[in-house]
Structure 1
């Protein structure tokens, strides 16, 4: 939905209103958009070289205070963006590039002296062109042929892009002004100065606009790759009579009137989306809606440019319009026709006041037939690269309240490591007790809400009915990761968090008022990978139901994906135990350890059994210091290990472990990485590590496992604390832990004497 600010069309509705009044008015427009299940607003923030934010380049807009250049005392654009995002609406900032004034008496007209002192054309009057001259509708324009003027326009736009969290930059159809009868735009001198190499002035003018679009596209995506750049041109590029590539129409051509080669912009990929203003009814002879939509669909086919259609809501039941606009279903018929062309991804309605007017109930009809459910904006893939995977949200609470079913959840990981940042969520509700399949989530038929918070109350849930809720995560470009494998460009797994609620009316609970019901709410969590079957080679259809893995229920409750089916029909649970319980439903156990085969690592070296943990444990991470081994980090539990001569204590503080360091020069690589220690003397020179209280020990290129290194560090640290506990060179065996005996102590004493 467009929200126009020029001449106070939509917002602000009148100049001079207070900050509170303007905020309340804008909130009303957002509420209107949400009521019709719109998902984006395009708000005009630079009507004609003025600004709705504190711009260092251009004056404050007169439509805020009634006086051009007067500071309203607050930042409107910051509030516009913040409130739109709070309602989970995309915010596109609408800029008019070259228009610099509006006709008198409301505007400056063609009089430069009526512009504010800091207006760019007041500072650079040589950039100004008055058009049409000697006409009540005369305005001032930037001269698009002057490179400095074009750069100024780009800088003004980029000031808002870099300062505010906008989702898109939007241009309308005003580039060069529409031609006035008998007058040409006054840029003859500029053409003579800069037009060398062009056969006609028209080609030069189109090149000027091409440069603006191409350069601004590059600057926007260099600063913020996720910000979209779109244009809403006049609905006819060229007529077929003038160009075989044109549409079957006979109207004004933006190629010649505004010198906007919009078809070229699409083919070159200089814009991210295009919204042609197809402001005509179906069946109009000179410009038939039913002919223009397929023409634009063919233009964007095979490109990465998204296509939306601009709708003329202002023409409904307006005097002087064709009879078709007095049919309440005309707008709805437009959207019905659009569904025949998959390239058409949506519609934009002009403008907000016309949507609110709802003449002939046309907006209500349109909403009932096409916007009855919320919808996400189409996902967009920027040129910066593929999207990062998103982890599923985790539902933390689900309960029945007087207002409905209240859901609470939290993101698992957002914006950390290799994972993308979660911006919004989708709430799906199925009115059945079955497990959701791909087709259940393939469209918006089961989507009940889109929001950026982590709580939602479903007011339409009825007691006595069983519902299944699914929460999905989306990034800021509306990529619902793993929604269906065919739509997943990166092949990452689909992840959902699912809650089943059985709402059963029961007797009033203790302490509750008469007539209140108690609802039995049961919560279950489920993870699934929607593209496993596709990765295995299964065909993917329009929905992913054929590609979803089968699920089964853990004996202790909860639904989980079974990774394989045993010959007897049993289920192999992920990390399950013999009882068939999955890992999250059995008591946590200590990570298992396995013993590697013995291997001889050198002629003078005894055989060593390297023991290393299987899996991860947050308190068992080792660290190698420069020139020596360090034990477990401070705070780790102390563990006993026993050698041949007695018991030794391992896993003390890191400071204790650091006392084990080589006597001579040496170098060790990180734990688990193959390398060799250098230094020492004798037959093991070049591969000998020396530690206090021990003899020479030769190592191979492949260092021993993490368990062996920990034991070595523990023995060395124990020997330094008490030389009698030094272990003799020889075979080191791993035994079960037991208290040290008198024989152990005698052996330790003998080792100390040696």
Structure 2
């Protein structure tokens, strides 16, 4: 899949992530490292595609109120399904779904490229706020090189392709930035840094569009750039690989310098190289990101330039050319300590093809990912495939796989210092079936941080406290300013105990607060 309307086409082509301080008891501290009863740390993402209005908004030109309501409905649905991350497409074709941009507004937002929402609002800012309210990360998804989805598109006079036509070439019916030009790479980095610096995003996310895959044997029209800039390379293929490497490396350093907590991830086509192309490639027989798109994704992991890899494994188990289980194992063996989130094909679940005829295919893939200790979660294409409950998969998430909430996995190479514990947790019965909790912000940790948010746990009276059990989580909050919680789900004649922990921006979790008890009456 490529996250566009060409998903199925590309699939066929390529296969022909000084207050009171309480000291917890030893028994509670032991629970922090005890085996998990349920999946507490897991990346659960979904792509929200805006190109040609695949997922949001439902059509271009809706009123601002209608767009906002659709976003709220979408996020509410994914929250109910247990997801904790959204990959929101903010730059589909050198255009913008955000206001603080050097590029023009997207036509897929307002109907006309360059026209701002009226009444004005900033869609990215709105989506971030609403996602964080629901305990969900928001990763800004960029298409780095695509400038026009179709050569017939009406392009605004202020579009970068009109201002700098020498930066582009036309290929396979699209207008694309020329990755071999240093000015292009510098421009793309600055476009992305605009978002990193001006918005409270959790991550920067690229999909699989780098160099275009060759079509019909036609050469990519970048010979002039190669003559000008490729003299130090053995051949044009080596030069193209280096051009993409340079963009990824530069962007990685730039993001970390601007905001150290912002994650950087790539979602490549599912095959790096086949074993027939490289002795360390996968036992597959399909197109590869390295050969067709000049994207050496394995190298980016080896060098530590990216924080997560999110390969699009859109094939079923035992596929004859690209089996899911083979690629899951290959990527897990080549993650080099970075996070591995598997891209899964929710959009394919209704296809009458081998593997996907079995409606247990996707749930079985989730379980296989969980059984691999070097994989940390899933991302689904796309939002509408989940909210439309194709093959009942949304039901499977809500009632089984993602029944309980989960924190995103930690990235200890970015931050390994946990917050201090919240203090002075108190609780009282506000009504016969309602407990009111309050607590105080923790002291600063060694890195100067207090808390980005909180996790509230509830246990039955006398029950062993196990903070690894996600079924005991009542709420995950990404708001440090809210230090209270109202639990209105108590049963009569039952005793409860509560504990609160603090999380930082990268979801490191503190030791628990003091425990408080509440007893209801018959």
> Does the TM-score normalized on the shorter chain lie above 0.5?
yes
Contact kept? 2:418, 2:445, Cα under 8 Å:
no
Q: 2:340 aligns with which of 296, 307, 310?
A: 307
- 1:417 deviates by 8.1
Are 2:51 and 1:6 equivalent residues in the alignment? yes
Are 2:445 and 1:410 equivalent residues in the alignment? no
Q: 1:96 aligns with which of 140, 143, 146?
A: 143
Q: 2:417 aligns with which of 387, 394, 404?
A: 387
- 1:323 deviates by 3.2
- 1:459 deviates by 4.3
Q: 2:367 matched to which residue of 1?
A: 336
Superimposed CA distance per residue, residues 722-743 of structure 1 (whole angstroms, 9 cap, x where no aligned partner): xxxxxxxxxxxxxxxxxxxxxx
Q: 2:408 matched to which residue of 1?
A: 377
Are 2:497 and 1:468 equivalent residues in the alignment? yes
Task: Return 5+ residue gaps in structure 2 as ranges.
Answer: 1-45
Distance 2:447 2:332 in 1: 36
- 1:415 deviates by 5.0
Superimposed CA distance per residue, residues 500-544 of structure 1 (whole angstroms, 9 cap, x where no aligned partner): 222221xxxxxxxxxxxxxxxxxxxxxxxxxxxxxxxxxxxxxxx
Q: 1:34 matched to which residue of 2?
A: 79
Q: 1:285 aligns with which of 301, 320, 332?
A: 320
* 1:721-732 alignment, distance < 5 Å: none
Contact kept? 2:313, 2:343, Cα under 8 Å:
yes
Contact kept? 1:266, 1:300, Cα under 8 Å:
yes
Secondary structure of the equivalent of 1:157?
A: helix
Q: 2:357 matched to which residue of 1?
A: 326
Secondary structure of the equivalent of 1:497?
A: coil
Superimposed CA distance per residue, residues 345-399 of structure 1 (whole angstroms, 9 cap, x where no aligned partner): 110111110001112212212443321100111112344x642642324323332
Superimposed CA distance per residue, residues 469-517 of structure 1 (whole angstroms, 9 cap, x where no aligned partner): 2111111110002xxxxxxxxxxxx332322222221xxxxxxxxxxxx
Superimposed CA distance per residue, residues 62-106 of structure 1 (whole angstroms, 9 cap, x where no aligned partner): 11110001121222111111111111211100011000011265x
Q: 2:130 matched to which residue of 1?
A: 83
- 1:294 deviates by 0.9
- 1:408 deviates by 2.4
Q: 2:517 matched to which residue of 1?
A: 500
Distance 2:47 2:428 in 1: 37
Contact kept? 2:435, 2:490, Cα under 8 Å:
no
> So what's the TM-score if we normalise by structure 2?
0.87
Distance 2:138 2:507 in 1: 13
Are 2:57 and 1:16 equivalent residues in the alignment? no
Q: Which has the higher contact order (CA 8 A, sep 6+)?
A: 2
Superimposed CA distance per residue, residues 233-261 of structure 1 (whole angstroms, 9 cap, x where no aligned partner): 00100001111110110011100111100
Q: 1:123 aligns with which of 142, 147, 163?
A: 163
* 1:591-610 alignment, distance < 5 Å: none
Q: 1:441 matched to which residue of 2?
A: 467
- 1:406 deviates by 3.3
Q: 2:176 matched to which residue of 1?
A: 141
Superimposed CA distance per residue, residues 189-214 of structure 1 (whole angstroms, 9 cap, x where no aligned partner): 11111111211211111100000000
Contact kept? 1:328, 1:365, Cα under 8 Å:
no
Q: 2:396 matched to which residue of 1?
A: 365
Q: 2:332 matched to which residue of 1?
A: 297
Contact kept? 1:413, 1:419, Cα under 8 Å:
no
Query: Structure 1 residues 210, 275: CA separation in 2 closer, same or farther (over 3 Å shift)?
Result: same
> So what's the TM-score if we normalise by structure 1?
0.61
Count of aligned pairs: 472
Query: Structure 1 residues 388, 431: CA separation in 2 closer, same or farther (over 3 Å shift)?
Result: closer
Distance 2:368 2:348 in 1: 19
* 1:170-209 alignment, distance < 5 Å: 170-209=205-244
Secondary structure of the equivalent of 1:91?
A: strand
Contact kept? 1:389, 1:419, Cα under 8 Å:
no
Query: Structure 1 residues 35, 388: CA separation in 2 closer, same or farther (over 3 Å shift)?
Result: closer
Superimposed CA distance per residue, residues 607-630 of structure 1 (whole angstroms, 9 cap, x where no aligned partner): xxxxxxxxxxxxxxxxxxxxxxxx
Task: Return 5+ residue gaps in structure 1 as ranges.
Answer: 109-113, 133-137, 482-493, 506-754
Distance 2:447 2:317 in 1: 49
Secondary structure of the equivalent of 1:324?
A: coil
* 1:332-731 alignment, distance < 5 Å: 332-383=363-414, 386-387=416-417, 389-401=419-431, 404-413=433-442, 415=444, 419-434=448-463, 436=465, 440-451=466-477, 452=479, 453-481=482-510, 494-505=511-522
RMSD, matched Cα: 1.8
Whichever of the two has the greater Rg, that structure is 1
Secondary structure of the equivalent of 1:408?
A: strand
- 1:414 deviates by 5.4
Contact kept? 2:502, 2:509, Cα under 8 Å:
yes
